[in-house]
Amino acid sequence: MKTKSMRKLIVLVLVLTVATSLFAGATAEKQTTGEKKKVELELWTFIEVHQKFYEEMVKTFNAENKEYEISLKTSNIPMNQMHDQLLLSLLSGSGAPDIVDVQIRWAGLFFKSNPEYFAKLNDIVENHKEFLNESILLQFSDPDKNIMGIPFHLGAGVMFYNKPAFDAAGIDIDQIKYWDEWIEAGKKLHQPEKNIWFTVVQYAFAREYLLFTMQKGGYMVDPNGKITMDEKKSVEALQFMYDMLNTWNVAEIAPNGSVYDQAFFEKMNKGEVLSLPHAYWYTSRFKSFMPDLNGKIAVRPLPMWRDSNIETTSMGGTGTAVVASSKNVDAAKKFLEYCKLSYEGNVKIATYLGFDPLRTDVYDDPRLSVPDPFFMNESVLDVVKAGMDNFIGKPVWPVSTDLQTEVSRDLLPAVLNGQVAPEKALRDLANKFRK
């Protein structure tokens, strides 16, 4: 026989059960009628303009996405420090962000050697695959070709010409199709007695060596991870750099070995360097640091090697990754997809960051074809568009990081200064890392 107190307890339980059911139903109804899940994401980068881009994009993401409302905390950390900090946080299992920019120099270390720390991004890539260059995506992949990072841009190599100097010498830059023709133009234009050089070479970064090598169809490290820097095409590329300095006398070494050094900016700004092969994204350096060249620089396709049909290659890059330990992997991936793979995200990458975007279909968008007064009032992205069919990305493996460090620190300065022959320098370094 139930006591009065027992009956009261049963009634209370029933009331609470019904109330809970009603509350759950109300909650479910709110979720099905469009209430967003609020999530906080932490993002690390090492470039201020990247940080500002993400902070702009989260505003429109939140306005358009029906699933998540993201609160984004961004940090801009010096490049070397950020990658060290990322490695320590991943190994310790504490303190890692949800999303992180990984510079291509570290891509092999993180994505090839330690892919388990990152979420695979194949699913978000698949949604846009028909518009993407696979070789660029594979720069940020694991050993099984799973995509672990999404780049900002193609990073395509182009040529920057000081056009008035060429016009004054009667040289039509649009007739320069091959590297030997470029060198012949350099022989006519350089005036070392006036400290005017046709071009420069740098050793602080291996970008030009890699550009010339890959444009020939060679590699420092090939797509299968094999060290090939001592093979014929790589040797020929480095010999070409040496000959520019020491045989044809059309180049000098950039101040402090770098085309990112303030002394170089000042030199080119004064018209003392007349052409420069570099990545499309270097357009921002002209606008920021070489104002006197406004209206004088023409952007054109790179010359080609006569024995290769590769028009251009990737020069650098940053792959943005989602950390696997994040509590909000799905939200992080959707935000990353919106920023870097969506059509409007790629338009923003071009118009806000000034990069050459990943998606091939956005190059026909009128917003990307606006003439640029700084660059001869031409639409400079048309140059990148023209070379897309014969464009390759740089294979990245764990050994790539150490190889590039030694190429920049030791090999290039020694070769360019005539201390060791290109073939021997490349062979010795390749054998060192093969052991």
Residue 293 lies in a domain: yes
Report which of residues 312 and 97 the model is more confident about: 97
Q: For residue range 355-402, what is the model confidence (pLDDT) as tens digits?
A: 999 999 999 999 999 999 999 999 999 999 888 778 888 889 999 989
122/238 same-domain check: no
Find residue 196's DSSP bridge partners. 191
Same domain, 321 and 297: no
Rg of the chain (C-alpha set): 26
Does the structure show a pLDDT above 50 at 429? yes
Identify the domain boundary among 304, 334, 364: 364
- Calculate mean pLDDT across residues 69-97: 96
Question: Is residue 140 pLDDT above 90, yes or no?
Answer: yes
Q: In total, how many domains does the chain have?
A: 2
Same domain for 246 and 124: no
Q: Could you tell me how many residues make up the chain? A: 435
Q: Does the residue 182 lie in any domain? A: yes
Average pLDDT over residues 396-412: 92
109 and 138 both lie in a single domain: yes
Q: Would 335 be classed as within a structural domain?
A: yes
Q: Judging by DSSP bridges, how do beta strands 275-279 and 157-162 pair with one another? A: antiparallel
Pair 253, 117 in one domain: no
Rounded to whole angstroms, what are the CA distances from 281 to 212, 287, 356? 18, 11, 7
Q: In this structure, which long-range contacts are made by residues 257-265, counting pairs with CB atoms below 8 Å and at least 24 apart in sequence?
A: 257/202, 257/203, 257/204, 257/412, 257/413, 258/202, 258/204, 258/205, 259/200, 259/202, 260/204, 260/205, 260/285, 261/204, 262/289, 264/200, 265/289, 265/290
Whether residues 49 and 190 fall in one domain: no
**In a domain? residue 274:** yes
The pLDDT tens digits for 168-208 are: 999 999 999 999 999 999 999 999 999 999 999 999 989 99
Residues 6+ apart with CB under 8 A from 184: none
Residue 109: give the domain boundaries.
Answer: 37-154+316-364
- Are both 358 and 404 inside the same structural domain? no
- 41 located within any domain: yes
Task: Tell whether 80 is covered by a domain.
Answer: yes
Predicted TM-score (pTM) of this structure: 0.85
pLDDT at 34: 62
Same-domain status, 199 and 272: yes
- The confidence band for 28, taking pLDDT boundaries of 50, 70 and 90, is very low
Q: Do 280 and 407 sit in the same domain of this protein?
A: yes
Distance CA 109, CA 147 (A): 15
pLDDT digits (tens, 9 = 90+) for 100-132: 999 998 999 999 999 999 999 999 999 999 999
Q: Indicate if 122 and 162 belong to the same structural domain.
A: no
Q: Which helix (H) or strand (E) segment is 319 a member of?
A: strand 318-322
pLDDT confidence of residue 257: 95
CATH number of the domain to which 190 belongs: 3.40.190.10
Please list, in sequence order, all residues whose beta carbon lies within 8 angstroms of the beta carbon of residue 355, skipping any fewer than 6 positions away: 152, 153, 280, 281, 349
The answer as to whether 32 is a domain residue is no
pLDDT higher than threshold 70 for residue 24: no
Question: Is the pLDDT assigned to residue 8 strictly greater than 50?
Answer: no
Domain assignment present for 26: no
**Burial (0-12, 13-18, 19+ Cβ within 10 Å), 172:** exposed
Secondary structure (DSSP) of 230-283: TSHHHHHHHHHHHHHHHTS--EEEPGGG-TTSHHHHHHHHTT-B-EEEEEGGGH
Q: Cα 8 to the chain's mean position, in Å? A: 69
Same domain as 207, residue 260: yes
> What would the two tokens of residue 202 be?
């740098």
Same domain membership, residue 50 and residue 122: yes
Digit-coded pLDDT (tens) for 333-357: 999 999 999 999 999 999 999 999 9
